Every structure is written in structure tokens, then in C-alpha cells.
């Protein structure tokens, strides 16, 4: 893991070849824009404009972290060498844990002012792009301490103080937001939280959910919707939660599905038990977890593209 020294703004490596234990650090959550700083730029391998918006964001974040007593900070744009597929895969599979282990997560909302009341129904806080992005779901849930910052880096509030507004925007209940655990929540409900969010790349709809379901899998950019299928297969290996199959499809093209598959006269695709997209869980927000998840039933098994399961009929 690489961290930014908030005094020097230089990267330092921990755990790897130097065997240095990871120190306490602050972590940034934000929406990517133009001019973000890459690993190559911050290490001097490529030109870096200190006037760029991305660099100013890093400077302001590190200043904030330093003022709060932190010596190190982590920013996803520059602390990962994204030209290395192996490093990128390891980072994405570790991302949830990095946010969970942070001492504080600062959420920078570049489209929100500090003067406005977040409780107002149509406030800019509630309409922030941050709440629409796929990756920020785990960045909201994983850290124990979350501080929201406005465009001028002034504090808006914390996850605890803003929990009512956040719950209304995300459809995540307040108890789950504050308990930092969702073991009591059904798979379908977690999927529904992600169903209204977007990612730049289709595969990231699945990859951004790895940590929330505590699974790991290799990244294959270019596989498209197969990534979400693979995610569900991995989830089946560790759970007997039937709500994984509690999804509904919609007419073709509603969510950009491909049109090359056999359909019924009404325009619906013939699908298997696994959802083709996280959008299929949009209406699954009220599905509760089965009563028996204690392990009395074996997890599902995938045998030659067939799902083997046992179920209790009532």
C-alpha cells in the first residue's frame, strides 16, 4: 500500500518489500473529474501541472489531513499504478479493506456549498453526484468515521450527524449506516442500493461491490456484463441467502441490455436464475434476509452452468 506523506506530498510504500507497518491514515472519497493526478505524474515519471484541479485537490486534502493530526493520506487517483493490471486488480480487491481501516474518510463534494442546509429536500447535498456513483457506495459504508466536505473544503457534517438525509437519498436505513455492518441485510437489498448508481465502465458495476459481499475475484476489463454474472457466482459460494434470485427484468433496452438474444412476444429476454445487471434489483429494496442464515443449509453449488440448491417450502 502506498500513502502520501502530507508534509512532502511524496508517496511512501508500506507492507511491501520494505516491510513497514501501515501507519494511521486519512482517506479521500470523491468523484473523478478532469485533470486528476496519476501515479506516473506524482512520482515524476510524467509532467505534472501544480495548477491542475486534480493536484489542488490533493494539496487541499493533505492540508486538511495534516491539520487533523494525520501524517499520511491515501487518494485513489495517484496511490495506485493503474498501468499495472496486477496492481490494479489487487487494489480493487483490497479497496474496501483500505477504506474500512482508515482512521477517517473525507468525502469531498465539489458540487455542494457549506452554507446550504443538507436537510432541505432539494438541497445540493442531496443532489450531489457523489451519491450517484457506483464506487462511492462502499466508500460510504466501509469507514467508521466519514466527514463530508463542501467545495471550499469546509465541513458539512459527518455520516452520523447527516444520517437521516443520507438514508433518504441512498435508501439505506439509519441503523445500517451507523452500525457499519450489513450482515443482517439481504443480498437483494444491498444490490438495490447499488442499482441506482452508475460507473464509467460496465464491469465496475460488479467490481465496486466486491468488498460489500466480502468476495475476491480477478478483474477482466472488456468482459462487460459477464463481470456481474461472475460476481453472483462468487457470492453463491459463501451464502444460502435466497434473495440473490429475487430480481426482476424489464423490457429490452430499458437498461441497455443487448438485443441479440431470444425474447418473448412482449419483448422480455429469456433469462436464467442470475441477474444480467445490478439494475434488475432496483425494486428489491424491501426484501429481507431469510430467517435461517446460520449455516444449517449448504451454500449453493454451480455445476456445469447449473445451480444446485436446497430450499424450505412453506
List the chain domain ranges. Answer: 1-181, 185-314
Residue 306 has a CB neighbour count (10 Å cut-off) of 9
Element (H, E) at 104: strand 104-108
| Placement of cell 443538507 in the chain | 118
CB 112 within 8 A of CB 128: yes
**Could you give the angle at the alpha carbon of 135 between the alpha carbons of 129 and 139, nearest 5°?**
95
pLDDT tens column, 217-227: 999 999 999 99
> What value does the mean pLDDT take over residues 64-81?
98
Q: Rg for the chain (alpha carbons), in Å?
A: 21
pLDDT at 249: 81
pLDDT at residue number 227: 97
Q: What percent of the chain shows pLDDT beyond 70?
A: 84
Asked whether the beta carbons of 62 and 4 are under 8 A apart, the reply is yes
Asked if 195 and 181 count as a contact pair (C-beta separation under 8 A), the reply is no
Which range is least confidently modeled, 208-212, 219-223, 293-297? 293-297
pLDDT tier at 179 (50, 70, 90 boundaries)?
confident
pLDDT at 107 over 80: yes
Residue 238 has pLDDT above 50, yes or no: yes
What is residue 184's predicted lDDT score, i.e. its pLDDT? 87
User: What is the secondary structure of 250-286 as a DSSP string?
Assistant: -STTSS---S-S-B-TTSPBP--SS-SSGGGGTT-TT
pLDDT of residue 182: 86
> What is the pLDDT of the chain when averaged over all its residues?
88
Higher pLDDT, 279 or 256: 279
Under the banding of pLDDT at 50, 70 and 90, the label for residue 21 is: confident
Report the C-alpha gap between 189 and 56 in whole angstroms. 38
Ranking 6-20, 141-155, 178-192 by mean pLDDT, the lowest is 6-20
Alpha-carbon distance of 239 to 290, in angstroms, equals 11
pLDDT of residue 201 exceeding 80: yes
Give me the mean pLDDT over the 74-99 stretch. Answer: 97
The long-range contacts involving 58-61, CB below 8 angstroms and separated by at least 24 positions, are 58/4, 58/9, 59/9, 60/153, 61/26, 61/28, 61/106, 61/108
For 248-266, the pLDDT digits (tens) are 986 444 444 444 344 444 4
Residue 72 sits at φ, ψ, to 5 deg, of: -135, 155
Adjacent-strand bridge partners of 301: 308
Give yes or no for a contact between 225 and 206, defined as CB atoms under 8 angstroms apart: no
pLDDT of the residue at 53: 95
Amino acid at each position: 500500500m502506498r500513502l502520501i506523506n502530507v508534509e512532502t506530498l511524496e508517496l511512501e510504500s508500506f507492507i511491501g518489500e520494505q516491510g513497514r507497518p501501515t501507519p494511521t491514515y486519512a482517506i479521500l472519497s470523491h468523484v473523478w473529474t478532469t485533470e486528476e493526478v496519476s501515479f506516473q505524474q506524482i512520482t515524476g515519471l510524467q509532467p505534472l501541472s501544480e495548477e491542475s484541479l486534480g493536484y489542488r485537490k490533493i494539496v487541499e486534502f493533505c492540508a486538511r489531513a495534516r491539520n487533523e493530526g494525520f501524517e499520511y493520506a491515501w487518494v485513489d487517483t495517484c496511490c495506485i499504478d493503474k498501468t499495472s493490471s496486477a496492481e490494479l486488480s489487487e487494489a480493487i480487491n483490497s479497496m474496501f479493506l483500505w477504506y474500512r481501516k482508515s482512521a477517517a474518510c473525507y468525502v469531498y463534494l465539489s458540487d455542494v456549498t457549506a452554507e446550504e442546509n443538507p436537510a432541505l429536500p432539494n438541497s445540493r447535498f442531496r443532489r450531489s453526484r457523489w451519491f450517484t456513483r457506483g464506487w462511492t457506495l462502499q466508500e460510504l459504508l466501509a469507514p467508521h468515521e466519514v466527514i463530508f466536505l463542501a467545495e471550499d473544503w469546509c465541513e458539512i457534517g459527518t455520516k452520523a450527524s447527516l444520517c437521516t438525509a443520507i438514508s433518504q437519498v441512498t435508501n439505506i436505513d439509519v441503523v445500517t449506516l451507523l452500525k457499519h455492518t450489513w450482515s443482517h441485510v439481504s443480498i437483494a437489498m444491498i444490490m438495490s442500493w447499488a442499482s441506482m448508481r452508475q460507473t464509467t465502465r460496465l464491469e465496475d458495476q460488479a467490481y465496486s461491490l466486491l468488498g460489500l459481499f466480502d468476495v475476491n475475484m480477478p478483474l477482466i476489463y472488456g468482459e462487460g456484463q459477464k463481470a456481474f454474472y461472475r460476481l453472483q457466482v462468487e457470492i453463491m459460494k459463501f451464502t444460502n441467502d435466497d434473495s440473490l434470485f429475487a430480481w426482476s427484468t424489464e423490457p429490452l433496452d430499458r437498461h441497455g441490455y443487448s438485443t441479440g438474444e431470444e425474447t418473448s412476444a412482449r419483448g422480455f429476454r429469456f433469462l436464467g436464475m442470475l441477474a444480467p445487471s445490478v439494475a434488475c434489483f432496483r425494486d428489491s429494496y424491501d426484501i429481507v434476509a431469510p430467517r435461517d442464515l446460520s449455516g444449517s443449509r449448504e451454500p449453493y453449488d454451480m455445476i456445469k452452468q447449473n445451480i444446485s440448491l436446497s430450499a424450505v417450502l412453506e
